[in-house]
Amino acid sequence: MNTHVRDRSGNRNRRPSHRVKEEPVPVHSENLPPGVSGGTALDVASWLAGRGYPVHPLAPGAKTPAPNCPDCRSGGHPAQDCPCHALGRWCHGFHAATTDLRTLRAWWETEPGFGIGVACGPAGLVVIDVDAHAEQLPDRQRLLPGIPIDDRVDLTGLQSGFDTLALLAAYRSRPNPCEDTSTLRVRTPSGGMHIWYRAPRGGPSLRCSSGSSPKVALAWQVDVRAVGGYIVAPTTRTAAGVYEPLPGARVPAALPLWLIAELARTGHTVEVPVAPSDAPVAPSRPRGAKTTPKGGQRLLTGLLDEVRACGASPSGTAFSEKLNRAAFTAGGLAAAGHLTGPEARRLLLEAADHARPHQPRRNVLIVEAGLRAGSDRPIHPKERP
């Protein structure tokens, strides 16, 4: 494999004296109306709130939250229990985010220069944050965590998160998210890109990460903004420049299944109770098809054996990657009619629970994401004579 990667250029906290009453949120059009894209920060914040996205103020000219009140700056209580929120104050960043228009109006009337942050978790958003920082290239095995990059792969020109995300997409034979015009994309003042997606409903909850993290990362110089984080809203102006919406959709599309699988593989799932579905991952197999033909059984058995073998060590065995690969393959076999969805889940979870019996919820999340992603690519294994 000889892949050439090219560079892509692509403080005041005024306190209302009364509890703020909830005001109905208006329904806005699907696309940013002309008056909003060129309007005030309050216009944009109200439009986002109208879509159900809780927002909070950012410090004027910065991408960090507006400062806390003196009481909160001194600490002494967790953000979730802060009494300021019930009084309509903006303390603790995204923990104060709201869709209430009266609260938003009070905030931006206090400081019209506030920027806008969106709390990703409550908004149901997953944002892929692509960086373009001038940094020294790490070891090639740090570029795509969990994916060995052969020494024969030519990495000439690889300089940023644009390149590593394109490389990940190429490895998975998927479209490059940076070129996904079906979803909202925002150019950042530093030359990076925010790719907004809707988080999967009923699927795994996903958490934030930094592309430089040695533990949880999607790709080098590619951050993830999700549960536990916020994202700077389009049209926000900082000292470095403006967050500009790019041509294409003005609203987030659903997070692609292959990215869900990759985020699960790289440890971005948050452990929450999730019951596996009884529905098949693909249409029922063609009439007369065998449940597990020899080729399909042989292919899946080998992958399941790799998953079970991870039980020999509690870490360092690439368990998530191997389980995701097995689930992806099982999804493809099910889509081609070689086994049923329930049977695929049973086999996968038996192997996963054997290797990692202490994390059944996480096992379910990885299996579900892999099955969904694999169901888009039916597999028809060739039989050996």
Which pLDDT score is estimated for 76? 64
* CATH no. of 123-255: 3.30.2250
Per-residue CA distances from 129 to 58, 146, 241, 243 (Å): 18, 20, 17, 12
Task: Provide DSSP, 303-327.
Answer: HHHHHHHGGGSSSSS-HHHHHHHHH
> In this structure, what are the phi and psi dihedrals at residue 226, rounded to the nearest 5 degrees?
-155, -140
What are the residues whose beta carbons fall under 8 Å from the beta carbon of 319, sequence distance 6 or more? 307, 310, 355, 356
The owner of tokens 């590593």 is 164
Pairing of strands 237-238, 241-242: antiparallel
Question: Phi then psi for 103, rounded to 5 degrees?
Answer: -65, -45
* Contacts with 258 (C-beta within 8 Å, 6 or more apart), sequence order: 172, 174, 373, 376
Residues of the chain with pLDDT below 70 are: 1-38, 73-77, 79-80, 85-87, 203-204, 271-297, 382-385
Instruction: Report residue 258 CA to chain centroid gap.
Output: 11
Secondary structure letter of residue 207 according to DSSP: B
Among residues 172, 160, 366, the alpha carbon closest in space to that of 266 is found at: 366
Maximum Cα interatomic distance, the chain, rounded to a whole number of Å: 81
- Which pair of tokens denotes residue 306? 């790799």
Which pLDDT value is given to residue 87? 66
Provide the token pair at 85: 């929120």
**Contact by Cβ (8 Å): 360, 297:** no
Which pLDDT belongs to residue 129?
A: 98
pLDDT at 233: 96
- Domain ranges, ordered by start, for the chain: 34-112, 123-255, 271-374
Residue 111 has a pLDDT of 92
State the pTM of this model: 0.65
SS3 57: strand
Q: Which two tokens stand for residue 74?
A: 């001194």
3-state helix, strand, coil in the chain (%, to 5): 35, 15, 50
The single-letter DSSP state of residue 254 is E
CA distance 209 to 206: 10
Give residues with Cβ within 8 angstroms of 184, minimum separation 6: 195, 196, 234, 245, 248, 249, 250, 251, 252, 253
d(CA 157, CA 298): 40
Can you give the pLDDT at residue 291?
Answer: 39
The residue behind tokens 């993290």 is 213
pLDDT score of 2: 44
User: Would you state the torsion angle of the CA atoms of residues 72, 78, 80, 85, taken in this order, to the nearest 10 degrees?
Assistant: -20
175 Cβ partners below 8 Å, 6+ apart?
Answer: 169
CA 27 to CA 30: how far, in whole Å?
9
pLDDT at 36: 56
